[in-house]
Structure 1
Amino acid sequence: MSDNSGTAPATDSVIRIDGTIRNYSWGSRTALADLTGRPLPTEHPEAEMWFGAHPAAPSRVTGTDRSLLDVITADPDGQLGGHRRSDRLPFLLKLLAADQALSLQAHPTRQQAQEGFARENAAGIALTAPNRNYRDDNHKPELLVALTPFAALAGFRPLHLTRELLDHLAVPELAWTTSLLGSGSDDEDLRALVTTWISLPSATKKQLVKAVAERCRGLLAETGATPDRDWMRGPASVAVELADQYPGDSGVLISLLLNHVVLQPGQAIFLSAGQLHAYVRGTGVEIMANSDNVLRGGLTTKHIDVPELMRVMDFSPVADPVCPRDSSGRFSVPVSDFGLREIRGTTPVTVDGPAVVLGVAGDTDVSWQSPTGERSEALRPGQAVWVPAGAGTVQVASSGRGFVATAG
């Protein structure tokens, strides 16, 4: 086993790290506790467990008062390698558990984040202020892999399908807004519709959301639906659920424009900068660029900045947000900030640092050669180790299910 004493770990050592729990209202009082073998229900909803070095909630080195951020800051060459692009860990790994819908949100590009972060710093807005949009200067592409059936809204649906859904719902109160469609540009049609819906007076929104929810309930009660309309039941069901949780919220209307996806365990979705999304329910492993920048558009009591959201949002339709992976368990992501690989099976695979290895089911075994001989860690679900760039040959196998997060 690795040395978990209070002394500083060697710079080339694999070390155990503890995830940092984030308590948000949409989280679960049972999912993460059950996964990690803790008593349940928990006192507060547990939404996320962070494994990384983000300043807002860095992981602790097990058995010490040091954080992974401290370890990396003290020795960026040994921890991140000589060919790194910066002195900070480029990714953040999470366990995520949603009992109700997250806010409707999008994330900025790197340039937008840098400009927004500098602008809000110059304006004197505190990093912890509730009206802060940019808490760092980084972009936030993200990948979520389902551990349970996981429902999500992810990117704008191709517009011809959305028009079929809106035509079938035939909500009279929406007719004047849906007449905005038909310019010949799907992107501009979606921009016009979202701008209209998100900017409506509160009383009008409340009326429209109520009418939409009623019609969606009617669609769900229909019998003898044809196969080409079966897909409509998913977004209708989510709209009803969201209307119950957030009556009068324009996010309920906007949800009708987004792809409704139900991932099965092992499936994943990738979301690039600007893509509007909301996780609805389920437990998963999430990896992203090392950022906490969120622009919200509804389904929340938190700060909403409509002009800034509209500025960063990408209105291009997405035909299929599901992310493929290869036969080795690696997910195909179009960014260099992170890579993620699922480990199943007792045949060891080699891992090069910098990396975080996380166990989620059964035993995930990590072994490496140290100056004092062969060392190993057996990770139970929710346990993780940090593998620095200087750790040499590290091998990982799992009797259940583990994940390896790497820097690209």
Structure 2
Amino acid sequence: MTNPFREYAWGSTAAFSRLFGWDVAPNPQAEMWMGAHPTGASLVEIGPGETLALDALLAQRPELLGASGQRFGELPFLMKVLSASKPLSIQVHPTADQAKAGFEAEEAEGIPLESRVRCYPDVHHKPELIVALTDFAALSGFRRHTEAASELSSVQALAEERGHGGPALREVLSTVQDQLERQDYAAALEYILASGQKQSAEAARALHALVQETETAPDRLGSAAWDTLTRITEHFPGDPGIFVAMLLNRVDLRPGEAIFLPAGNLHAYLGGAGVEVMANSDNVLRGGLTSKHIDARALIDVADTQVLDAPGCAPELVTRGELAYRPPFEEFALTRFSVEAHGDVKSRRLVDAPGILLCTGGKLTVLADPAGEGPAHVTLGPGESVFLAPGEAIRFGGDIGTTAYLASAPDAVQAGR
């Protein structure tokens, strides 16, 4: 497949070069999309020198969706490689009902699908999973009220001590702490992003000045908390979203570790690279830390303001060199394969569902078993991918250390014949 890129400001020209050994890009690259989303479908080679967009191919040949895809009426998942060199937006994704209502409302208003102010370009919810390829830092879900209140208190004390405790910062921190004492994250979110947005922006500038003048992490704040403040204020010095960030769980992933994000989970990625799989949607409501369109009221309406533990997704060891990530979503699961010995060849078959196989390291040789209507074999280098039809039996292997990820429907990946 030939896959499109999204060139967002939080990407970099060298991100995919570092990941996959490619040439440095002329523009910042943030995401590589693999799938059939109409705003960024992959191109599939259907013959020598002939390609077709995957969404068009599936429309022509719906049998390639399998029973799983036909139940959704389309390829139900979108796979990405994401690489963030700086924090990206505080955001939330809607439920299926919220997505449908939002899409219909924006259609009725006549907002073009390609408009930058569009929040709902499709009718689907967007649960997602991300597996770290590098060390990966994220914020996910509101943490315990007492933890957030304690951190705000430490920041306030530090600001007063260093001469940055101006009236705006004192007012914002005091107001939010009062709301946390009442265990009311909904009120805190509304104040920071809406009714108190002007004060919060002024307070954010004061916080930026404090961080700039403090060279090392102060003892009163943990290293992770200080890292969050440093990363965000460096790139968004007057953004009220910094105060929302301080209310969320900090999650640090090592390569191979994962989190899943259901609808309503307020989150932001701070930096790192990973493989993402999500429902086939691009519905995102943003509340800060971005140059893109922000709709704070829409985000407030959708965000889950209950205390949430960071939703880790520990993989299940299927067999040697095979890990399965199974978040509680019906659209997709993800399997990681690694070659750990010479001659390690895996035989797998997709039952009633298509899949996308992505090589992330080494050289992966994929052979049809037996050869069908497509090519008998294909060799994938890092960052290259192939679309697999339902029922297709394949064998694949490579040099020791070769790694690959296979996205498909839950329980679709089974041992081959």
TM-score class, shorter: 0.7 to 0.9
* Separation (CA, whole Å) in 1 of partners of 2:190 and 2:396: 49
Against the structure 1 CA distance between its residues 164 and 128, is the aligned structure 2 distance closer, same or farther, given a 3 Å change threshold? same
Against the structure 1 CA distance between its residues 326 and 349, is the aligned structure 2 distance closer, same or farther, given a 3 Å change threshold? farther
Q: Does 1:29 align with 2:31?
A: no
Deviations 1:171-229 (A, max 9, x none): 5342133212222xx4xx11111111112556522331133345567887466x4xxx7
* Separation (CA, whole Å) in 1 of partners of 2:74 and 2:286: 26
* Separation (CA, whole Å) in 1 of partners of 2:249 and 2:289: 17
Q: Does 1:243 align with 2:233?
A: yes
Q: Does 1:405 align with 2:407?
A: yes
The 8 Å contact of residues 191 and 197 in structure 2, kept in 1 or not, is answered as no
* Separation (CA, whole Å) in 2 of partners of 1:28 and 1:153: 21
Deviations 1:140-174 (A, max 9, x none): 01111111111111111222211221222235342
Q: CA deviation at 1:66?
A: 0.8
Q: CA deviation at 1:265?
A: 0.8
Aligned counterpart, 1:13? none
Percent of residue pairs bearing the same amino acid type: 35
Aligned counterpart, 1:46? 29
* Separation (CA, whole Å) in 2 of partners of 1:203 and 1:320: 30
Amino acid at match of 2:15: A
Aligned counterpart, 1:192? 187
Between 1 and 2, higher relative CO (CA 8 Å, sep ≥ 6) is seen in 1
The 8 Å contact of residues 65 and 74 in structure 2, kept in 1 or not, is answered as no
Q: Does 1:326 align with 2:316?
A: yes
Q: CA deviation at 1:290?
A: 0.3
Aligned counterpart, 2:204? 209
Against the structure 1 CA distance between its residues 82 and 162, is the aligned structure 2 distance closer, same or farther, given a 3 Å change threshold? closer
Aligned counterpart, 1:269? 259
Against the structure 1 CA distance between its residues 287 and 222, is the aligned structure 2 distance closer, same or farther, given a 3 Å change threshold? closer
* Separation (CA, whole Å) in 2 of partners of 1:266 and 1:83: 27
- Give the number of aligned pairs: 381
Q: Does 1:395 align with 2:395?
A: yes
Aligned counterpart, 1:156? 142
Against the structure 1 CA distance between its residues 193 and 71, is the aligned structure 2 distance closer, same or farther, given a 3 Å change threshold? same
Q: Does 1:61 align with 2:44?
A: yes
Deviations 1:357-392 (A, max 9, x none): 00000022322212489922221111111111143x
Aligned counterpart, 2:130? 144
Against the structure 1 CA distance between its residues 288 and 372, is the aligned structure 2 distance closer, same or farther, given a 3 Å change threshold? closer
**Any stretches of 5+ residues in structure 2 without a counterpart?**
158-169, 411-417
The 8 Å contact of residues 91 and 266 in structure 2, kept in 1 or not, is answered as yes
The 8 Å contact of residues 134 and 274 in structure 2, kept in 1 or not, is answered as yes
Give the alignment's TM-score, normalised by structure 2.
0.85
The 8 Å contact of residues 80 and 87 in structure 1, kept in 2 or not, is answered as no
Q: CA RMSD in A?
A: 2.2
- The 5 A counterparts of 1:167-316 are 167-170=153-156, 172-173=170-171, 174-183=173-182, 186=183, 189-200=184-195, 203-213=198-208, 221=216, 225=219, 232-316=222-306
* Separation (CA, whole Å) in 1 of partners of 2:68 and 2:331: 16
Secondary structure of 1:73 counterpart: helix
